[in-house]
Structure 1
Amino acid sequence: MGRTFMLLVVVCIFFFFTVESQAQIVPALYVFGDSFVVSGNDNPLDTDAKANYAPYGIDFPNGPTGRVTNGLTIADFFAQLLGIQVPPPFLLVNATAEKFYEGFNYASGSAGIRSETGTAGQEVTLSMEKQIELFRKTVQEYLPSHFSSAIELKDYLSKSIFLVIIGSNDYSHNYLSTQYNSSRIYNMKQFADLLTYGLEQQLQELYLLGARKFVVFEIDAMGCEPAFLQIEKSNPKCSEKVNSYIGTYNHKLGVMLERVGKAVVNSTFVLAKRYQIMNDLVANPTRYGESSSLPFKNPLH
């Protein structure tokens, strides 16, 4: 049985590869997740998670793009390294666009593993489940016309990379939010189990649709973000309580990915371990060019 499970640090993941050429390494990159990798899908949605206004996107020639950053996201850099076009946001692209078969970005800023995450106040968001449905539409309706046979399409999907970075909002906009009942229904371990089980089912859905190579990110050290420092009144230290929730989830995520990697045929699962990197930014700021110990400032998930 061909199967692989890998544990890698994010900075090493660029990302399966150490080649710095612009040669195309894989046929496509498909991106699923939240605001860490969103690139415009929220623009047409009824949501406060939009980032289509200044100062977002100030490094782009035409201004804001819908990314929650001044420039490129980690998914964009990933695509550049792979030698393919930056995956366009699915909701903003005409299906006949040139090279759309090199991948899509389905991410939404307030999305979560749980479907209800980010929907308080009747907002619209693309949950992970909805993003998978858009990928299903891609596989069933858009891609077949670009391939001569189902076997050729299957081979293309098996060689493509599937980047998944989600879960932060399930805490910030669900479990840790007074607008939801999750923390009153589940304890820390139960909620982490709920999330990892849900994500496992979603990765299985992608696998059944043809995905074989996955890069799945941990949640970062959210207790070091300004919002939670204020709540815990622990400035300048990180909130140990919040980080304990995240640490529990990340551990269970690693265990789950290892189990799934052993269970499904011809698959590769990479766990991108970003928690410790973000924690180290706070603990050792001088290593990263910062003169004082400041909390890591992270935008909306």
Structure 2
Amino acid sequence: MGRTFIFMHFFVVCLFFFCIVECEAKQSLAPALYVFGDSFVASGNDNILNTDAKANYAPYGIDFPNGTTGRLTNGLTLADFYAQWLGLQVPPPYLLFNQTEKHTEGFNYASGPAGIRPETSTVDHGVFLSMDKQVELFKKTAQEYLPTLFGNPDELKDYLSKSIFLVVIGRNDYTQNFLSPKYNSSSKWNMKQFAEIIVDELGSKILDLYTVGARKFLVFEIDAMGCEPAFYEKQKNECSDKLTSYISTYNHKLEVELQILAKTVRGAIFALAKRYQLMYDLVANPARYVH
């Protein structure tokens, strides 16, 4: 098939992938969802790692029947919701999965402190799964675990080409790297240079996944972090202009990168989930969302 790039708002991305699966795979369900990223989609890999970035204690997970799971939320993550919309099981955290069991509906490799840059979060958070490590674990999955579940390489290739690869990462590269005095990133590069560097690195990691067999990618923008309580400028009663500028630059370069990949990588589909403007507008114009 040809090359495709699509950008869309957060709430309609799932509908796009339902269409992709329905129209091209001739079935209503994607075979699997593979998840890569940070705290927005982490689901328990950090539980067994020597890191202080754990979420396996109350009040996390209070909406789960058995309590905490390792998600940095009271309930499901956006990756979990996507799995449900696709009719799949919620992808189990890779490090907690019993590899003797048979499972073909995807895994979650995300880790709370993870960033695109390998040094991001390393000063404060001990051992965790960087994006590099997450990609390596998927390679291991595709090359060692999955071949035992499929009759031949062609079946595995077809399965991977129809699976969805969800990527939510990048914010820690700013909060736990570029904006942190513990790193010297901001003294080495300016805002535009840093955005270009991490977008290039993310593109390289996506190509690594492509090389192993991934073909359908859903990549999320960084959200409007400048509007979060930790960065919101209360005296001005507005989102942080500085952080807004940083993230906007990154998101623009990410969109351009995915467009380039769509033109140069054969047989792949890239969708950009544009969540930045939605969050920004929720803070700037809350009355629009009151019913």
Give the structure-2-normalised TM-score.
Answer: 0.94
1:181 paired to 2:184: yes
Ranges of 4+ aligned residues in structure 1 off by more than 4 Å: 232-235
Give matches, 1:125-164, under 5 Å.
125-164=128-167
Give 1:24 shift: 5.3
1:91 paired to 2:95: yes
Equivalent residue, structure 2, for 1:247: 248
Which runs of no fewer than 5 residues in structure 1 stay unpaired?
Answer: 291-301
Equivalenced residue count is 285
Give 1:288 shift: 3.2
Equivalent residue, structure 2, for 1:36: 40
Give 1:121 shift: 3.8
1:16 paired to 2:16: yes
Preserved CA contact (<8 Å) 1:3 1:264:
yes
1:123 paired to 2:126: yes
Structure 2 distance, partners of 1:145, 1:196, is 34
Give 1:233 shift: 5.8
Equivalent residue, structure 1, for 2:24: none
Q: State the secondary structure of the residue aligned to 2:47.
A: coil
Equivalent residue, structure 2, for 1:264: 265
Structure 2 distance, partners of 1:121, 1:246, is 22
Query: 1:205-233: per-residue Cα shift (whole Å, max 9, x none)?
Result: 0000100000000001111112223xx56
Structure 2 distance, partners of 1:15, 1:171, is 31
Give 1:234 shift: 4.3
Q: Which amino acid aligns with 2:78?
A: I
Give 1:49 shift: 1.4
Structure 2 distance, partners of 1:132, 1:8, is 25
Give 1:195 shift: 0.5
Give 1:236 shift: 2.5
Structure 2 distance, partners of 1:105, 1:84, is 13
Structure 2 distance, partners of 1:50, 1:196, is 27
Structure 2 distance, partners of 1:135, 1:119, is 22
Preserved CA contact (<8 Å) 1:57 1:65:
yes
Deviating more after overlay: 115-124 vs 130-139: 115-124
Which structure features the higher share of helix residues? 2
Instruction: Decide whether aligned partners of structure 1 residues 234 and 4 sit closer, same or farther in structure 2, where only a CA change above 3 A counts.
Output: farther
Q: State the secondary structure of the residue aligned to 1:152.
A: helix
Equivalent residue, structure 1, for 2:169: 166
Q: State the secondary structure of the residue aligned to 2:98.
A: coil
Give 1:178 shift: 1.1
Give 1:287 shift: 3.1
Give matches, 1:60-75, under 5 Å.
60-75=64-79
Preserved CA contact (<8 Å) 1:24 1:84:
no
Preserved CA contact (<8 Å) 2:109 2:134:
yes
Structure 1 distance, partners of 2:133, 2:28, is 29
Equivalent residue, structure 2, for 1:194: 197
Query: 1:264-294: per-residue Cα shift (whole Å, max 9, x none)?
Result: 111000000000011011012233349xxxx
Give 1:18 shift: 5.8
Query: 1:3-27: per-residue Cα shift (whole Å, max 9, x none)?
Result: 10001101111242468xxx85111
Structure 1 distance, partners of 2:77, 2:161, is 24
Q: Which amino acid aligns with 2:35?
A: V
Query: 1:178-217: per-residue Cα shift (whole Å, max 9, x none)?
Result: 1111011100000001001100100000000100000000
Identity percentage of aligned residues? 64
RMSD of aligned Cα (Å):
1.7
